[in-house]
């Protein structure tokens, strides 16, 4: 088992209505390279905050403490901090000091803000220090969003640019991160549209997002997310806005792509049954804390926490007991 | 006599000039106190049927009879009066409420508009409504945006039952709720149905929930009825292609038997 990322003592707080809210509290979690890890929880559990923290997409206004140490090959540009790294370092690459320089600047070769489809905020967290506070943040963001990490969001309409063709949106990821010229990038984009099984990829290249269905848009978003060959794919409620049939298709697609590209998957979901169908391991979050972590079979068949059992029991499957008292109805 | 009888309902939309049949010759009935579920993939016409039944949009063809009279000919005051008997709860109560309103205001409106209670009597009626949906009366002065999603959906249900409806259209009304809250809201809906013989038109993409709460189900595909019948019988052994696809796609939690 090789680690991909090691989350240590991650605490994320933000202010809302003048109050300090802790979105994540002392999270310790190792992401294993090549695994499919599901993060499940209800609203307010912190699962999406975790996804954003791992991707380096937390807004600048939140306060993050703790470490996320990455073990990535050097060609992925990981500049892991020289702290708490275990001996499994061959994959880690060279070490650079955590600098206030933005990963966008490092990776994008000019015009960063235009080119980064996924992560305009990625740099904000880098070595940021809480002004005046004596507790310095030790929150280093090393991989580059869009290149090392692909992110698929729930909201289909806001994750794609409404006035840019599908082909260009995917091509610009390839161009930005893979150093390809535009014709090569467009060719890559078309290959990706075929890989995500979009009907009629040629037409889709020239289409705009509004011309596609929800499921098709999510396929495009996935194509863009994997365009630069990321090691980690994060899907944050990526199927929650889709109907059941399309959801099942997208889950099948994600499963296949993760295998084909040797990616690690972080699958964020409120749906424990969906998570169980896809994941090797399940992490259960509640109120900002990681309360249970285990293999899918352990968590589903023998949950150690009462809350996990509550989630499992609350699932209304096709074999659930009927809630309806049928005797009350006239025939 | 059926509470609601829909016959040959048709609604076309225009999309880039081409007419698309959102609802195509759909007929069904709902009996008093019955839950009829509409299930199907996105674009199958579920929500369009809901909006047609509520007369939020007008059909191109077809008939809707509600409580024994032609619902589509009603206009103005007569329509408003009849609407008290036909209520709705949507997926996102935050979008369904005036965001600046308080809980009390949300419940005061239907009582006032439909002349159900005098000004002096309304605070007591609001407290009673809150109690019926399992909320404390002291929630009344709180702003809608301050309360939790589950509480908000209870307020939406309280608003719906304020006018003593015979039919409530529930359009994905539990879909956005946390699973732990969802079960409670379903229990509440079933309790209200038993007590007041309210019928539900229950729109959901979740076949597990449909099977657990609905008496009958209609599976829709591309605006047409693909299959209908007893909810449990249809979902346990779907005969239509779309029914089999929906069942196959439902996430399954394969638990070890304990």
Structure tokens that stand for A27 in this block: 């999270």
Q: Within a domain: residue B43? A: no
Contact B248 A329 (CB under 8 A): no
How many angstroms separate the CA of residue A218 from the nearest CA in chain B? 14
Distance CA A289, CA B23 (A): 46
A264 closest CA partner among A152, A149, A142: A149
How many angstroms separate the CA of residue A217 from the nearest CA in chain B? 14
Q: Within a domain: residue B15? A: no
* H or E element at residue A232: strand A232-236
**Closest chain A residue by Cα to residue B243:** A245
pLDDT of residue B8: 97
> How far, CA to CA in Å, does B238 sit from each of A321, B51, B246, B247?
19, 27, 9, 8
Q: Which of B238, B253, B257, B258 to probe by mutation at the A interface, max A CB count within 10 Å?
A: B253
**Closest chain A residue by Cα to residue B15:** A211
- Give me the residue from B41, B149, B187 closest to A245, CB to CB: B41
pLDDT of residue A331: 40
Domain ranges (residues) in chain A? 3-99+106-315
Q: Under a CB-based contact definition with an 8 Å cutoff, are residues B246 and B39 in contact?
A: yes
Report which of residues B16 and B122 the model is more confident about: B122
Q: Which of A216, A323, A326 to probe by mutation at the B interface, max B CB count within 10 Å?
A: A323
CB proximity under 8 Å: B 175-204 to A:
178-180, 182-183, 186-187, 190, 193-194
Distance CA B245, CA A193 (A): 24
Pick the CATH number of A3-99+106-315 from 3.40.50.300, 3.40.228.10, 3.40.50.880, 3.30.530.20: 3.40.50.300
Q: Within a domain: residue B127? A: yes
DSSP symbol at A144: P
Contact A42 B249 (CB under 8 A): no
Q: Is the pLDDT score of B91 beyond 90? A: no
Distance CA B12, CA B21 (A): 4
Q: Which residues of A57-88 are buried (b: 16+ CB within 10 A; e: fewer)?
A: bbeeebbbbbbbbbbbeeebbbbbbeeebeee
Q: Which residues of A touch B (CB under 8 A)?
A: 42-43, 213-214, 242-249, 270-274, 276-277, 297, 300-301, 310-312, 314-318, 320-326, 328-330
Structure tokens that stand for B53 in this block: 């039944």
As a three-state string, the secondary structure of chain B is: CCCEEEEEEEEEEEECCEEEEEEEEEEEEECCCCEEEEECCCCCCHHHHHHHHCCCCCCCEEEEEECCEECCCCCHHHHHHHHCCEEEECCCHHHHCCCCCEHHHHHHHHHHHCCCCCCCCHHHHHHHHHHHCCCCHHHCCCEHHHCCHHHHHHHHHHHHHCCCCCEEEEECCCCCCCHHHHHHHHHHHHHHHHHHCCEEEEECCCHHHHHHHCCEEEEEECCEEEEEEEHHHHHHCCCCHHHHHHHHHCCCCCCCCC
| pLDDT per position as a tens digit, B182-222 | 999 999 999 999 999 999 999 998 999 999 999 999 999 99
Q: Which residues of B166-188 are buried (b: 16+ CB within 10 A; e: fewer)?
A: bbbbbbbbbbbbbbebbbbbbeb
Which residues in A lie closer than 8 A to residue B205 (C-beta atoms)?
A: 243-244
To 10 degrees, the CA torsion angle through B126, B127, B132, B133? 80
Number of domains present in the structure of chain B = 1
SS3 category, A293? strand
* H or E element at residue A7: strand A3-16
Q: Within a domain: residue B152? A: yes
Q: To the nearest 5 percent, what fractions of chain A are helix, strand and coil?
A: 35, 20, 40
B66 Cβ partners below 8 Å, 6+ apart?
B3, B4, B82, B85, B86, B167
| pLDDT per position as a tens digit, B109-134 | 999 999 999 999 999 999 999 999 99
Q: Within a domain: residue B62? A: no
| pLDDT per position as a tens digit, A238-282 | 998 888 999 999 999 999 999 999 999 999 999 999 999 999 999
How many angstroms separate the CA of residue A311 from the nearest CA in chain B? 7
Look up the pTM and report it: 0.83
Contact B194 A329 (CB under 8 A): no
Instruction: Name the least confident of B208-217, B224-233, B249-258.
Output: B249-258
Give me the domain span that covers residue B131: 96-164
pLDDT of residue A84: 36
Instruction: Name the least confident of A73-87, A221-235, B4-18, B67-81.
Output: A73-87
Reported ipTM: 0.86
Instruction: Express as a percent the part of chain B with pLDDT over 90.
Output: 84
Structure tokens that stand for B101 in this block: 């309103």
pLDDT band at B42 (very low <50, low <70, confident <90, very high): confident
How many other CB atoms are found less than 10 A from the CB of residue A18?
5
How many other CB atoms are found less than 10 A from the CB of residue A2?
12
Distance CA A209, CA A157 (A): 8
Q: Within a domain: residue B114? A: yes
pLDDT of residue A136: 35
Chain-centroid distance of CA A231 in Å reads: 11
Distance CA A285, CA A293 (A): 9
How many other CB atoms are found less than 10 A from the CB of residue B19?
10
Structure tokens that stand for A5 in this block: 């990322």
How many angstroms separate the CA of residue B236 from the nearest CA in chain A? 8
Q: Within a domain: residue B65? A: no
Contact B205 A244 (CB under 8 A): yes
Q: Within a domain: residue B14? A: no
pLDDT of residue A196: 94
Average pLDDT over residues A221-232: 94
């Amino acid at each position: 088992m090789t680690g991909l990322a090691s989350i240590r003592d991650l605490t994320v707080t933000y202010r809302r209505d003048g109050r300090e809210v802790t979105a994540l509290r002392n999270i310790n979690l190792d992401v294993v390279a090549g695994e499919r890890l599901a993060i499940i929880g209800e609203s307010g559990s912190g699962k999406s905050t975790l996804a954003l923290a791992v991707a380096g997409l937390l807004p600048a206004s939140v306060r993050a403490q703790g470490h996320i140490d990455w073990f990535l090959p050097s060609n992925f540009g990981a500049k892991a901090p020289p702290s708490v790294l275990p001996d499994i370092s061959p994959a880690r690459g060279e070490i650079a000091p955590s600098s206030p320089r933005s990963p966008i600047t490092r990776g994008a070769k000019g015009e960063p803000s235009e080119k980064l489809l996924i992560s305009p905020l990625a740099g904000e967290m880098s070595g940021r220090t809480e002004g005046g506070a004596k507790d310095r943040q030790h929150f280093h963001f090393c991989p580059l969003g869009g290149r090392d990490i692909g992110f698929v969001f729930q909201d289909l309409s806001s994750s794609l640019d409404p006035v840019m063709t599908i082909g260009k949106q995917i091509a610009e990821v390839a161009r930005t991160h893979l150093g390809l010229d535009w014709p090569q990038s467009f060719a890559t984009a078309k290959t990706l549209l075929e890989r995500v099984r979009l009907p009629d990829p040629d037409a889709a290249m020239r289409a705009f997002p509004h011309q596609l269905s929800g499921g098709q848009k999510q396929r495009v978003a996935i194509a863009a997310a994997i365009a630069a060959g990321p090691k980690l794919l994060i899907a944050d409620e990526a199927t929650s806005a889709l109907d059941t049939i399309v959801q099942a298709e997208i889950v099948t697609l994600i499963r296949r792509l993760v295998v084909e590209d040797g990616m690690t998957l972080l699958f964020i979901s409120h749906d424990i049954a969906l998570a169980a169908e896809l994941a090797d391991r399940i992490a259960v979050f509640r109120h900002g804390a990681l309360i249970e972590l285990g293999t899918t079979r352990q968590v589903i068949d023998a949950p150690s926490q009462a809350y996990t059992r509550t989630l499992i029991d609350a699932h209304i499957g096709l074999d659930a007991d009927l809630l309806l008292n049928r005797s009350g109805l006239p025939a | 006599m059926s509470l609601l009888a829909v016959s040959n309902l048709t609604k076309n939309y225009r999309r880039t000039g081409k007419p698309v049949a959102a609802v195509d010759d759909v007929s069904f009935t709902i009996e008093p106190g019955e839950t009829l579920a509409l299930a199907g993939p996105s674009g199958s016409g579920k929500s369009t049927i809901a909006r047609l039944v509520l007369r939020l949009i007008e059909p191109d063809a077809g008939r809707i009879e509600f409580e024994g009279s032609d619902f589509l000919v009603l206009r103005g005051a007569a329509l408003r009066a009849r609407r008290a008997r036909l209520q709705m709860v949507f997926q996102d109560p935050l979008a369904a409420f005036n965001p600046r309103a308080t809980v009390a205001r949300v419940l005061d409106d239907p009582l006032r508009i439909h002349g159900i209670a005098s000004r002096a009597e309304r605070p007591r009626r609001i407290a009673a409504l809150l109690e019926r949906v399992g909320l404390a009366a002291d929630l009344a002065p709180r702003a809608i945006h301050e309360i939790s999603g589950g509480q908000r959906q209870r307020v939406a249900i309280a608003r719906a039952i304020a006018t003593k409806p015979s039919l409530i259209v529930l359009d994905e009304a539990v879909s956005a709720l946390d699973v732990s809250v969802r079960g409670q809201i379903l229990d509440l809906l079933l309790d209200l149905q038993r007590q007041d013989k309210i019928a539900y038109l229950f729109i959901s993409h979740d076949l597990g929930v449909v099977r657990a709460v609905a008496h009958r189900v209609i599976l829709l595909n591309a605006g047409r009825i693909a299959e209908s019948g007893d909810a449990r019988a249809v979902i346990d052994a779907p005969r239509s292609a779309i029914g089999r696809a929906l069942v196959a796609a439902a996430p399954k939690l394969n638990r070890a038997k304990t």
